[in-house]
């Protein structure tokens, strides 16, 4: 083959020569060359490799598509199942970036930005055509940015199919405008004509069949013979259809000269015809059974009529019964009694769930299922169980009895004629899904024992008669390929879609509906010497004629395609020339008459809805006046649109005009999508923004100095007093904290409690002045605190020497001193330098001690005075323990007796010899009274579990000769006091961090000061396990932020519906948004999110452990230090942001909170914007204003707000232009805030978390709904929903059973209609707007309705939470099982407590079922009086 030269496309040299794949066939290369030169439709048989030609074309264009090129290629497929199949082929044979798109991905809700991101990322888009059509209409895609546009199965391009609309609306319009850079069109089809068998020819055709005998079965084949007139007509019709397709696609058809060209590569199946007798089941049998089925159907339809359900639900259920009835009758007549019985039994089967075409009322579902069961029982009475079991053993007898029809017998016999095939792969094509299901059941019963074959079925997953997933279908096809399954009964899904290459027999059980279906099903037989078997009823000349026409049409289409190959495509008018449209100039988005209805319904579908009302436009046409009025839901900014025009297109004209006005009002964006779509896309993008969960942990700069200076150092001193609230033999001593910088007043003068095992110790701190220390004194102090604290924390001396030595380094970072004081009562106190010198103890100094009258003793440190030992820390090498020596035991020496645990007595000398192998040399010397070194713990932890009381052997008797003096002199009180230093300093460090955060804010907002302790509370999470944490402030801040944001949005966007307002609110207050703002302000570094661990605490002066501090600038002038890095969830940051808002709100008021929010970047305020209302309504027609004002104790200045607050979306009277949704949005926020702030101020001493519980129990739909029913507000709601009316009646009927002393709704066994709670919120919103946003007026008015308000004493936890907490506390095992079906949930909760199981199942909506099941299990646990409780 000659090499190809570079070919110019559209006048531009692509600079790329044809690069066919090495295994490409000759005709594929020819088709590729043609496709490069001009738009082309490749018409070749199934299995001839059309996709490979498209791939080679894309490889040719690849250099124009590679990113960062703005161009893309689009590969369109008619079925979702083909998306992954074709994308896989593209990824296999190209290196292009391939994206896959189908409806279930939610692409209908993508905005322009989302599609732009996809076009930046991917080079080839494989998608279903409706996605591209919508994308072009909304201007998400530009045709001039698409270099190659592939249409798979392009014969679908006709009428209103998306293929045709893409070409008519966009391609031809731009082509006629002489716009360049139109995409290269490439179509693929196995049959370019998709008409129902060229119906006009069927009646005039004549058949010339002959038959052959094969193993006793008669098969028919055809002479390829046409009458001259018939051939001319067929040729003319085919030519016309082909020309129409070519003109529409602006492409020329490429095909092979004959089948012989392809035969070398593509096996062709042999078409054969087999007749079956025209023999139905016995007429008396059919008439009897069908009449009884009719009676059964009527019986259950009457049962539906008696149900108290909505008319629409009733009609839907009737349709389902009718469909089932029709399916049973069809199977009975066409397939036989046995298969009709299988259809009925299949419909009863729960796992297939034939009845679930949509959500129904539970009672109507039960009726449908009972109809299925009774139908199954009825049909089974016409067959005994023995007959049912023996079906298929005697086919003639089965036919005579009506169990199986002759058509089914023909299929079985036809299959068995191929028993000689070693490896059968057969597809049986049927028309109906139910046929596929029941035939597979019969074949699965018969074939394994007759031939060893296995059968399966595949039916389109859009069917309402089965629930087969694509995953199941793909698995079955894989089994078919590998031979596990031999026969597949399939609907048309396998004609066009799933690739099954190993098939060697195709049987058409039902005739093909179109020539395209015929050709494609024939093409499924891919193997060499395969057969294409066509079943026809004897005497059915019409079907026989149609099949002959199908066979001839393939040859005629090929000949006509070749004959017209040289003729150019005729220009085609754009559909936009023939119909009105609306075009957005800024984007190019367009809506036409034909697409306007769909766009309007799509817009309405994105409006707020509930379970009682689905918003949709209502169309009223006046034929006489030739006018059409569109009534829109009340949440639209436009209520009515009227147009006048031709009655044929009147509705489309009205919808087009409505879309135009919605765009001009801003409800539709410039891309002609609902505004909420773009808002949701932005929210999704924000939530999917990459989040780096690694953050710095800050350390306060007040405690850090870069290095030790050589001159005298100035220190600010703070006296720390410890007040022991319990009795203990060792009293604490006052100590002095010396720091280089003077601390903030509310840091340097603090009081807090430590939780000690024995009780509470109060720490108080106060400023006492300045002290100057030289370098030697500073080093002395550092060595003391580093050594003592290292000993206390590690409880060993292994690393003490290293800590001691490294204090002299000049790279010191932490610079503060903890100094012991003398016991004198001087003010200011005197530093105990003698104690500080204990760290420098040496034997030489102790030996020079001559003035003491106490005896000397032998130690491992030498011969020393007893007073040196009395206040010291000693180390005993034989057991590596540290002890505080508190005295000399004058009455005990080494020969004294020691009482053992077993009651025996032994001398100390013997004990040490037997236990430790030590011989005491100085057994006459007095023993020392020692106490184990104190344990350093986290004394800030709340509710610390009490440890065991100090045991009797907490003091020990030590022979002096076994002791090494480590520090002396140092009193036990100082040692005891220093065991609290890590916890004390951790609290001071935390306060300093809070102070730095506050100062960082004050740098920008100088007057917005609040107590540092509040800031500390706001940055402390409950994981710290301290006496306080942020939860109460977070709850307060969350409610205020929600209220302030909701009020501003309500005022600013007065035409936005509740859904849009909620989306905008979420963008401001979502965790993702708040977390980002917090990170931008470097808040994560300040957050305290873990329990204090003394072992990880950094000791000032100790450099034995490497710990580097990095600097970070909070602003140009403010610096802080980073001590470490840690991971933190974004929600934690968002919680702290809300808590900080709560901190400023609780101490500085709303203005302080707004100032802080502005500093964060939340630009929300109580803006003054007039609320414009156009609400002309005659109030007395709709509501009793005077009664409601009396009930609310409020007189409305604008009573129309009262009407709006009580109007549900289903109330479609045009004189009321709005429903309550916007007011509900505002009222929800204000009630939440009012109740929260009320609880916060009423119970100021509540524990952290209690406010959250009180708020959750007070602010929920059940509470509001109960309040609404108590006040009889349900009688005043304006709605037109039968379902809502029924639900309210049921709620009111069961209301008296509930306890009225609380506003809880948790005792109810059914859920409250959300509308009842909504109305309470909308009334609060109405009062807020009418009172000029005076929230105190709202609380005064609404509080009586909400009474009695929940208090800490009356509060009940939600049963689900109470049960969970109980199980966690008592270590019970809890299991939950939730099964959902048709909007209902069955929740089973099982708890195992002390070996006993408590279990309950509730069925309702998921929320109510979970609550009731939890409540019942809780009751059982309480009644059982479990010993653990």
Of 224 and 1012, the structure prediction assigns the larger pLDDT to 1012
Of 1319 and 257, the structure prediction assigns the larger pLDDT to 1319
CA dist., res. 519 & res. 155, Å (int): 12
What distance separates the 2 farthest-apart alpha carbons in the chain?
A: 145
Of 504 and 1177, the structure prediction assigns the larger pLDDT to 504
CA dist., res. 192 & res. 194, Å (int): 7
> What's the pLDDT at 115?
94
CA dist., res. 208 & res. 226, Å (int): 9
> What's the pLDDT at 3?
35
Distance in Å from the first CA to the final CA of the chain: 90
Contacts of residue 153, defined as CB under 8 A and 6 or more positions apart, other chains included, come to: 77, 78, 188, 189, 496
> What's the pLDDT at 1310?
61
Does the pLDDT at position 95 exceed 70?
yes
Q: What is the chain's mean pLDDT, rounded?
A: 85
CA dist., res. 913 & res. 989, Å (int): 50
Does the pLDDT at position 749 exceed 90?
yes
Q: CB burial class (10 A; 0-12, 13-18, 19+) of residue 1006?
A: exposed
**What pLDDT, in 10s, does the model give residues 219-267?**
444 434 344 455 566 677 788 888 899 999 999 999 887 666 776 777 7
Structure tokens at 1220: 């309550």
CA dist., res. 55 & res. 1099, Å (int): 69
**What pLDDT, in 10s, does the model give residues 601-641?**
999 999 999 888 899 999 999 888 889 999 999 999 998 99
> What's the pLDDT at 71?
96
CA dist., res. 848 & res. 1079, Å (int): 62
- DSSP code of residue 1355: -
Per-residue pLDDT, averaged over 314-321, amounts to 86
Q: Other C-beta atoms within 10 Å of 56: how many?
A: 23
Does the pLDDT at position 567 exceed 80?
yes
Does the pLDDT at position 75 exceed 70?
yes
Which pLDDT band, with edges at 50, 70 and 90, does 1291 fall under?
A: confident
> What's the pLDDT at 178?
66
**What pLDDT, in 10s, does the model give residues 258-304?**
666 776 777 778 888 899 987 778 888 888 998 999 999 899 888 88
How many percent of the chain have pLDDT more than 70? 88
Does the pLDDT at position 208 exceed 80?
no
**∠ at Cα 1204 (1201, 1209), nearest 5°?**
165
Which pLDDT band, with edges at 50, 70 and 90, does 651 fall under?
A: very high
The pTM for the full model equals: 0.81
Per-residue pLDDT, averaged over 69-77, amounts to 96
- Give strand ranges (E) for 538-639: 581-583, 590-592, 618-622, 627-631
Q: Across-strand partners of 763? A: 722, 752
> What's the pLDDT at 1363?
86
Does the pLDDT at position 133 exceed 60?
yes
Residues in the chain, total:
1429
> What's the pLDDT at 909?
94
> What's the pLDDT at 474?
79
> What's the pLDDT at 355?
37
Per-residue pLDDT, averaged over 1077-1089, amounts to 96
> What's the pLDDT at 197?
42
**What pLDDT, in 10s, does the model give residues 335-350?**
999 999 999 888 776 4
Cβ–Cβ < 8 Å for 1169, 1068: no
Does the pLDDT at position 1301 exceed 50?
no
Does the pLDDT at position 1015 exceed 50?
yes
Structure tokens at 95: 């290196």
Q: How far is CA 991 from CA 752, 760, 1089, 1144, in A?
A: 12, 21, 14, 16
- DSSP code of residue 799: T
């Amino acid at each position: 083959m000659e090499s190809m030269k570079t070919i110019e496309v559209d006048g531009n040299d692509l600079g790329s020569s044809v690069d066919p794949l090495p295994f490409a066939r000759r005709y594929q290369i020819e088709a590729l060359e043609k496709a490069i030169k001009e738009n082309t439709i490749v018409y070749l048989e199934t299995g001839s490799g059309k996709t490979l030609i498209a791939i080679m074309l894309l490889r040719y264009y690849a250099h124009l598509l590679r990113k960062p090129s703005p161009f893309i290629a689009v590969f369109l497929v008619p079925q979702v199942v083909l998306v992954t199949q074709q994308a896989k082929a593209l990824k296999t044979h190209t290196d292009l970036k391939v994206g896959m798109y189908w409806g279930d991905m939610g692409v209908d809700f993508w905005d322009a930005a989302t599609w732009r991101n996809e076009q930046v990322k991917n080079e080839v888009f494989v998608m279903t055509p409706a996605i591209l059509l919508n994308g072009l209409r909304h201007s998400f895609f530009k045709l001039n940015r698409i270099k190659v546009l592939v249409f798979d199965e392009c014969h679908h391009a006709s009428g209103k199919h998306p293929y045709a609309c893409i070409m008519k609306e966009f391609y031809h319009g731009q082509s006629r405008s002489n716009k360049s850079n139109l995409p290269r069109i490439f179509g693929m089809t196995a049959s370019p004509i998709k008409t129902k068998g060229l119906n006009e020819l069927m009646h005039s055709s004549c058949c010339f069949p002959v038959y052959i005998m094969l193993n006793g079965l008669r098969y028919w084949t055809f002479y390829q013979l046409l009458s001259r007139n018939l051939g001319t007509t067929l040729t003319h019709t085919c030519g016309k259809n082909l020309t129409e397709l070519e003109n529409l696609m602006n492409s020329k058809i490429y095909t092979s000269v004959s089948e012989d060209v392809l035969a070398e590569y593509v096996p062709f199946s042999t078409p054969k015809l087999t007749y079956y007798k025209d023999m139905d089941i016995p007429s008396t049998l059919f008439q009897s059974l069908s009449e009884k089925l009719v009676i059964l159907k009527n019986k259950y339809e009457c049962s539906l009529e008696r149900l108290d359900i909505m008319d629409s639900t009733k009609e839907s259920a009737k349709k389902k019964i009718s469909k089932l009835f029709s399916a049973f009758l069809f199977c009975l007549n066409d397939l036989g009694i046995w298969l009709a019985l299988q259809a009925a039994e299949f419909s009863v089967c729960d796992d297939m769930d034939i009845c679930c075409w949509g959500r129904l009322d539970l009672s109507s579902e039960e009726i449908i299922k009972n109809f299925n069961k009774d139908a199954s029982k009825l049909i089974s009475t016409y067959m005994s169980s023995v007959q049912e079991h023996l079906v298929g053993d005697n086919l003639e007898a089965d036919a005579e009895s009506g169990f199986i029809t002759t058509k089914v017998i023909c299929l079985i016999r036809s299959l068995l004629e191929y028993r000689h095939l070693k490896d059968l792969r057969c597809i049986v094509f049927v028309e109906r899904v139910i046929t596929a299901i029941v035939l597979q059941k019969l074949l699965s019963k018969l074939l394994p024992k007759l031939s060893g074959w296995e059968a399966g079925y595949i039916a389109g997953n859009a069917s309402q008669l089965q629930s087969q997933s694509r995953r199941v279908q793909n698995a079955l096809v894989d089994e078919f390929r590998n031979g596990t399954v031999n026969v597949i009964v399939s609907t048309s899904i396998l004609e066009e879609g799933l690739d099954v290459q190993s098939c060697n027999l195709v049987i058409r059980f039902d005739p093909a509906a179109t020539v395209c279906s015929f050709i494609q099903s024939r093409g499924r037989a891919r193997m060499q010497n395969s057969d294409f078997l066509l079943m026809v009823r004897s005497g059915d000349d019409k079907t026989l004629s149609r099949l002959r026409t199908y066979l001839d049409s393939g040859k005629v289409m090929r000949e006509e395609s070749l004959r017209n190959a040289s003729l150019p495509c005729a220009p085609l008018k754009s559909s936009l020339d023939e119909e009105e449209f609306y075009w957005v100039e800024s984007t190019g988005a367009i809506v036409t008459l034909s697409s306007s209805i769909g766009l309007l319904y799509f817009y309405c579908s994105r409006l707020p809805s509930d379970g009682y009302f689905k918003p949709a436009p209502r169309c009223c046409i006046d034929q006489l006046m030739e006018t059409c009025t569109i009534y829109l839901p009340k949440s639209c900014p436009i209520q009515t649109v009227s147009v006048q025009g031709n009655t044929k297109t009147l509705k489309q004209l009205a919808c087009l005009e409505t879309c135009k006005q919605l765009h001009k009002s801003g409800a539709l964006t410039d891309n002609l999508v609902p505004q909420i779509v773009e808002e949701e896309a932005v929210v999704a993008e924000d939530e999917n923004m990459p989040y780096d969960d690694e953050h710095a942990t800050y350390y306060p700069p007040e405690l850090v100095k870069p290095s030790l200076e050589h001159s005298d150092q100035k220190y600010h001193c703070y006296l720390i007093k410890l007040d022991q609230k319990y009795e203990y033999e060792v009293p604490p001593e006052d100590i002095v904290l010396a720091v280089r910088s003077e601390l903030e007043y509310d840091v340097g003068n603090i009081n807090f409690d430590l939780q000690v095992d024995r009780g509470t110790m109060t720490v108080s701190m106060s400023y006492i002045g300045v002290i100057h220390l030289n370098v030697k004194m500073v080093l002395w102090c550092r060595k003391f605190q580093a050594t003592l604290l290292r000993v206390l924390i590690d409880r060993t001396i292994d690393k003490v020497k290293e800590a001691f030595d490294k204090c002299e380094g000049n790279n010191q970072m932490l610079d503060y001193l903890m100094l012991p004081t003398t016991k004198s009562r001087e003010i200011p106190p005197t530093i105990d330098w003698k104690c500080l010198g204990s760290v420098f103890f040496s034997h030489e100094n102790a030996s020079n001690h001559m003035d003491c009258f106490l005896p000397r003793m032998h130690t491992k440190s030498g011969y020393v005075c007893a007073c040196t030992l009395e206040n010291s820390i000693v180390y005993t090498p034989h057991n590596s323990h540290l002890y505080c020596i508190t005295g000399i035991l004058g009455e005990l020496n080494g020969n004294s007796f020691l009482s053992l645990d077993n009651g025996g007595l032994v001398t100390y000398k013997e004990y040490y010899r037997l236990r430790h192998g030590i011989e005491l040399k100085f057994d006459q010397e007095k023993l020392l009274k020692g106490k184990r070194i104190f344990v350093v713990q986290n004394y800030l932890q709340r509710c610390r579990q009490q440890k065991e009381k100090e045991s009797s052997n907490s003091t020990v008797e030590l022979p002096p000769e076994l002791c090494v003096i480590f520090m002396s002199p140092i009193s036990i009180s100082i040692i005891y006091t220093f065991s609290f230093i890590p916890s004390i300093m951790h609290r001071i460090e935390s306060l300093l961090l809070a102070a730095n955060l506050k100062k960082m804010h004050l740098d920008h907002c100088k007057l917005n000061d609040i107590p540092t302790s509040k800031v500390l509370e706001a940055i402390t999470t409950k994981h710290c396990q301290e006496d306080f944490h942020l939860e109460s402030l977070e709850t307060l801040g969350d409610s205020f932020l929600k209220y302030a944001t909701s009020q501003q949005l309500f005022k600013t966007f007065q035409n936005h519906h509740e859904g849009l307002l909620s989306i905008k609110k979420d963008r401001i207050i979502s965790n993702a948004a708040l977390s980002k703002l917090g990170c931008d302000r470097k808040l994560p570094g300040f957050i305290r999110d873990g329990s204090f661990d003394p072992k990880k605490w950094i000791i000032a002066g100790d450099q034995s452990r490497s710990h580097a501090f990095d600097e970070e600038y909070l602003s140009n002038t403010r610096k802080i230090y980073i001590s470490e890095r840690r991971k933190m969830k974004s929600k934690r940051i968002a919680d702290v942001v809300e808590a900080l808002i709560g901190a400023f709100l609780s101490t500085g008021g709303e203005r302080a909170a707004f100032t802080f929010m502005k500093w964060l970047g939340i630009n929300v305020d109580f803006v003054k914007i007039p609320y414009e209302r156009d609400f002309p309504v005659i109030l007395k027609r709709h509501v009793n204003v005077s009664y409601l004002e009396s009930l609310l104790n409020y007189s409305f200045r604008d009573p129309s707000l009262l009407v709006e607050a009580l109007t549900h979306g289903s109330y479609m009277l045009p004189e009321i232009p709005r429903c309550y949704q916007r007011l509900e949005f505002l009222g929800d926020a204000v009630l939440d805030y009012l109740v929260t702030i009320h609880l916060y101020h009423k119970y100021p001493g509540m524990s952290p978390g209690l406010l959250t519980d009180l708020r959750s129990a007070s602010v929920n739909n059940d509470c509001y709904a109960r309040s609404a029913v108590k006040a009889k507000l349900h009688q005043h709601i304006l709605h037109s929903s039968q379902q809502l009316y029924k639900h309210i009646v049921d709620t009111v009927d069961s209301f008296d059973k509930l306890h009225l002393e609380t506003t809880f709704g948790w005792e109810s066994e059914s859920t409250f209609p959300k509308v009842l709670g909504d109305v309470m919120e909308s009334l609060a919103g109405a009062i807020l707007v009418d009172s000029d946003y005076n929230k105190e007026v709202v609380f005064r008015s609404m509080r009586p309705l909400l009474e009695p308000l929940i208090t800490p004493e009356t509060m009940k936890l939600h049963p689900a939470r109470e049960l969970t907490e109980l199980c966690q506390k008592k270590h019970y095992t809890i299991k939950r099982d939730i099964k959902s079906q048709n909007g209902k949930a069955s929740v089973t909760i099982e708890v195992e407590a002390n070996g006993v199981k408590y279990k309950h199942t509730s069925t309702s909506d998921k929320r109510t079922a979970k609550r009731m099941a939890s409540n019942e299990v809780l009751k059982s646990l309480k009644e059982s009086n479990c010993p653990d409780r």
